[in-house]
């Protein structure tokens, strides 16, 4: 820590404060002398043995550079102390300028962006819709059917190829009578209705039988990825080798065990599915009303946020996008060029997120909202239910400070949402389970 640091501050706008920092020159001189003596031990200058170079030569050759290094180090070491001393809630890195030696001090100016101070408006006027849903027997049966469909297999059948059947075939495509790259394959597997091929191809195969050959006329879309094929008419010669029909797995012990049901059969599976769906409804409804509450608050609270906050949020969202990209296409996020996702892609959402962060922080400070540790424990216990060994997961979250801090942050935000809902006017709306979950998934994709 620096000693005898002199700091004055001046608010130059709602978003910036300028500090004038004075560091005693004596501190700099002492460090310069110490570094010169250290340099003298290892410096190599023609005509002198190592460690025997006169100090006057060391000062002449290295003094200016060493002094500048020490000044830079002193600025780096003192600027955040100055910010803390003035009790400034800074965001981003300070901008240093006007560095000079004046009388007995190193003097510099540091311009810092400050966390906005806002008084949240309109809490009592908020109108918020809370969506929820219920799980009935029909929805549970639909979900179990969906679980079957996710694990369906295909079995050879006789007769014509129909929608949802799987075709195994050879094909060869031509444009103006010429073959093209990627236009042929053997033993290709395709489920009718999957829309994996260009429009018209799958429809042209319907009602074929195994052993039949057919030429299918299609037109490549104008936005097709291959430049040489955009909008081109093409012919595909197809040889259908086999037709397979979809077969759902039976609802038997083997199927039940796939979902951890070892006793109780179908009724236990239904109970587990219902419980999971109810948990999904709870989470989706919670996220929906949180979003609705935040949207309503943002509409009533317009203010500018520091560029540094927006830039930090842009970086966070870009890194998140890179992680998704890497997950989808394989590899590590660092292997992809961040310039694929320019700042403009994220600035609107980043500005919104930064403003929302200020609103949430202001509500926490103004209303002295503290994290509820009982809710933290409940959150951990509920999250652990999804794992094979809940006890191990609970211990992990309890003992890992970083993970627990993340959960505390989530719970604290939930408490802020509760506070907002208590102040505003909330109306409940019953919606379909599928609609609620689909909306939640769409929202997560946009985040």
> What is the band of 172 on the pLDDT scale with cuts at 50, 70, 90?
very high
Q: Take residue 9 and report the two structure tokens written for it.
A: 């501050």
Q: How far apart are CA 179 and CA 172, in angstroms?
A: 8
Nearest 10 degrees: CA dihedral of 229, 234, 238, 244?
60
- List CB contacts of 191: < 8 A, sequence separation 6 or more: 164, 165, 166, 167, 246
C-alpha dist (Å) from residue 361 to 41, 116, 304, 445: 53, 10, 15, 25
| DSSP helix/strand/coil, 63 | helix
Task: Label residue 324 by pLDDT band (50, 70, 90).
Answer: confident
The encoded tokens of residue 283 equal 């989470």
Q: Classify residue 396 as exposed, middle or buried by CB count within 10 Å of its CB (0-12, 13-18, 19+).
A: middle
Residue 260's φ and ψ, nearest 5 degrees, are 80, 10
Grade residue 57 by pLDDT with cuts at 50, 70 and 90: confident
CA distance 37 to 51: 10
DSSP code of 371? -
How does pLDDT run across 378-409, given as a tens digit for each residue? 988 888 877 778 888 888 888 888 888 999 99
Quick one: tokens of 416?
């802020």
Helical H segments across 18-136, by residue range: 25-42, 55-85
- pLDDT surpassing 70 at residue 417: yes
User: Looking at 136-272, which runs of residues are DSSP E strands?
Assistant: 153-156, 166-175, 178-191, 213-219, 233-247
Residue 207 to residues 74, 146, 325, 419: CA-CA distances in angstroms?
81, 27, 39, 61
Rounded-to-integer distance, Cα 2 and Cα 80, Å: 11
Instruction: Give one word for 325, left, alpha or beta, with left for phi > 0 and alpha for psi -120 to 50.
Output: alpha
The least confident of 122-126, 224-228, 241-245, 248-252 is 224-228
C-alpha torsion angle, residues 188, 193, 195, 199 (rounded to 10):
100
How high is the mean pLDDT of the chain?
Answer: 89
- Angle at Cα 299 formed by Cα 375 and Cα 415, nearest 5°? 5
Alpha helix ranges (H) inside 263-346? 265-300, 307-329
Q: How confident is the model at residue 46 (pLDDT cuts 50, 70, 90)?
A: low
pLDDT of res. 253:
93
More confident residue, 97 or 331: 97
Contact indicator for 202, 167 with CB cutoff of 8 Å: no
Worst-scoring range by mean pLDDT, 168-172, 277-281, 385-389? 385-389
Read off the pTM.
0.73
């Amino acid at each position: 820590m620096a000693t005898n640091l002199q700091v004055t501050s001046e608010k130059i706008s709602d978003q910036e404060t300028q500090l004038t920092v004075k560091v005693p020159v004596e501190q700099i001189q002492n460090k310069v002398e110490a570094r010169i003596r250290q340099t003298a031990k290892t410096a190599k200058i023609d005509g002198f043995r190592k460690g025997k170079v006169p100090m006057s030569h060391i000062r002449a050759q290295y003094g200016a550079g060493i002094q500048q290094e020490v000044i830079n180090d002193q600025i780096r070491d003192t600027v955040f102390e100055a910010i803390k001393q003035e009790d400034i809630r800074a965001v981003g890195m300070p901008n240093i300028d006007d560095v000079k030696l004046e009388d007995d001090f190193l003097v510099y100016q540091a311009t810092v962006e400050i966390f906005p101070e806002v008084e949240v408006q309109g809490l009592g006027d908020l109108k918020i819709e809370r969506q929820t849903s219920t799980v009935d027997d029909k929805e549970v049966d639909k979900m179990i059917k969906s679980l079957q469909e996710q694990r369906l297999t295909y079995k050879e059948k006789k007769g014509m190829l129909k929608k949802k059947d799987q075709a195994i075939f050879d094909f060869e495509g031509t444009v103006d009578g010429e073959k093209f790259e990627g236009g042929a394959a053997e033993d290709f597997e395709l489920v009718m209705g999957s829309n994996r091929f260009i429009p018209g191809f799958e429809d042209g195969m319907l009602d074929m039988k195994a052993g039949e050959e057919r030429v299918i006329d299609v037109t490549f879309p104008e936005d097709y990825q291959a430049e040489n094929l955009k909008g081109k008419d093409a012919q595909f010669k197809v040889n259908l080798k086999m037709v397979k029909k979809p077969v759902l797995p039976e609802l038997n012990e083997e199927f039940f065990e796939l979902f951890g049901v070892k006793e109780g059969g179908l009724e236990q599976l239904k109970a587990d599915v219902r419980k999971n769906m109810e948990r999904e409804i709870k989470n989706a409804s919670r996220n929906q009303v949180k979003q609705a509450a935040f949207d309503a608050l943002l509409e009533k609270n317009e203010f500018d946020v520091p560029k540094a906050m927006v830039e930090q949020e842009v970086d966070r969202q870009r890194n998140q996008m890179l992680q998704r990209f890497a997950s989808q296409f394989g590899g590590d996020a660092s292997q992809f060029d961040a310039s694929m996702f320019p700042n403009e892609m994220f600035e609107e959402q980043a500005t919104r997120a930064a403003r929302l962060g200020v609103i949430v922080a202001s509500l926490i400070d103004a209303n002295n909202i503290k994290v509820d540790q009982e809710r933290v424990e409940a959150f951990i216990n509920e999250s652990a239910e999804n794992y094979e060994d809940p006890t191990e997961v609970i211990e992990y979250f309890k003992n890992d400070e970083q993970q627990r801090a993340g959960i505390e942050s989530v719970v604290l935000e939930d408490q802020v949402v509760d506070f907002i809902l208590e102040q505003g006017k909330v109306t409940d709306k019953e919606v379909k389970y599928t609609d609620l979950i689909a909306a939640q998934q769409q929202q997560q994709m946009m985040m």
